[in-house]
Amino acid sequence: MTATAKPDPSHISGDLLEWYDSHARDLPWRALPGQPAPDPYRVWLSEVMLQQTTVAAVKPYFAKFTGTWPTVTDLAAAPEEDVMAAWAGLGYYSRARNLVKAAKAVAGLGGFPDTEEGLRALPGVGDYTAAAIAAIAFGRRAVVVDANVERVVARLFAIEEPLPGARKAIRTGMDAVTPENRAGDFAQAMMDLGSSLCTAKAPKCLLCPLAEHCAGRTADPERLPVKPPKKVKPQRKGRAFWIEREGSVWLVARPGSGMLAGMRSLPDDGWSAQSDGSGEAPLEGEWETLGLVRHTFTHATLELDVAAQRTRVQPDGEGQWWPINQLDEAGLPTLFAKAARLARAR
């Protein structure tokens, strides 16, 4: 079939929902078509975890969290350091701190708000997350636009304006096709379509249930949405220190604000994603250089030299000796977990 000049919203939702009823992904936080709406706690938790993170990466963390804290009340009562440790490796650690704050707020309210406005008042819940929870958990009609939906709508309406300027038109398009009923299923159907058929590379247009409605299908849909040129990330350098004593390693807590705030880590020289480190080593004496680890943050890349020393001296400042054979339980963020693996290998 040839694409029409303008998509017909009256048929898009019906065609997509019919496809979704047979092709919905079976995900641990989702209710399949025809099932009762999922627990708002599970929807909220999954949506926070999925921010800038893939489904494959989130699944084991979601299982760990819901196994340890089955309800939002359980999570609200958990020590923040335990939650941060369980989150370690998932990245964007401000999400975990807001998770604890939001859980406490929800527990204080006696349950999740069921409107976008009420949900947006929770720490760490922005427009997208509030809309997703309102639609999926509470059946509210809401305009839900994540990266997959953004791509589908840009192609469906052949929106040529580059991102981020195109987002207003994309939201308008999504609003036009979102139905009053089954808004949650429709949002998830758009997400599934973007992840399985309307992919960033090599979209499978011949299998798409919206092919006949798609204005961008005949005009090289792979180039949509139009993205601005990528900015080159600045590169930072720093040092981390592996201080070992009698089978334990010295760990510290990072400052309460800034990069990886509040996380357990190896001592370092004061680097950040904004500036190079310039601090002194935590102990005097000779250090063995073990090698280099690299890590990419949102706004910068980092090269971290790892230096080691065995000592009988207690380093200055607050910290704790952590058994090396239990280091996996310390909840080190990915950067310092890489440094620890390098040190243990040497």
Helices (H), the chain: 9-23, 40-50, 55-68, 72-76, 80-87, 94-109, 116-120, 127-138, 147-156, 167-177, 183-196, 334-345
Please list, in sequence order, all residues whose beta carbon lies within 8 angstroms of the beta carbon of residue 142, skipping any fewer than 6 positions away. Answer: 116, 130, 131, 132, 134, 135, 178, 183, 187
Pairing of the two strands 248-253 and 264-265? antiparallel
342 in Cβ contact with 290 (< 8 Å): yes
Q: Is 47 among the catalytic positions?
A: yes
42 in Cβ contact with 112 (< 8 Å): no
User: Each residue of 232-256: b (16+ CB within 10 Å) or e?
Assistant: eeeebebbbbbbbeeebbbbbebee
- 306 three-state secondary structure: strand
Pairing of the two strands 288-296 and 301-310? antiparallel
163 in Cβ contact with 228 (< 8 Å): yes
Pairing of the two strands 235-245 and 301-310? parallel
Tokens representing residue 185 in the block: 């299923």
Considering the candidates 47, 81, 180, 212, report the single residue annotated as catalytic. 47
Among 47, 45, 49, 22, residue whose Cα is nearest residue 33 = 22
- 238 three-state secondary structure: strand
Please list, in sequence order, all residues whose beta carbon lies within 8 angstroms of the beta carbon of residue 5, skipping any fewer than 6 positions away. Answer: 215
Give backbone dihedrals phi and psi of 10, rounded to 5 degrees, phi first.
-65, -25
- Distance CA(7)–CA(87), nearest Å, equals 42
Instruction: Count Cβ atoms below 10 Å from residue 170 Cβ, excluding itself.
Output: 24
**Which residues are marked as active site?**
47
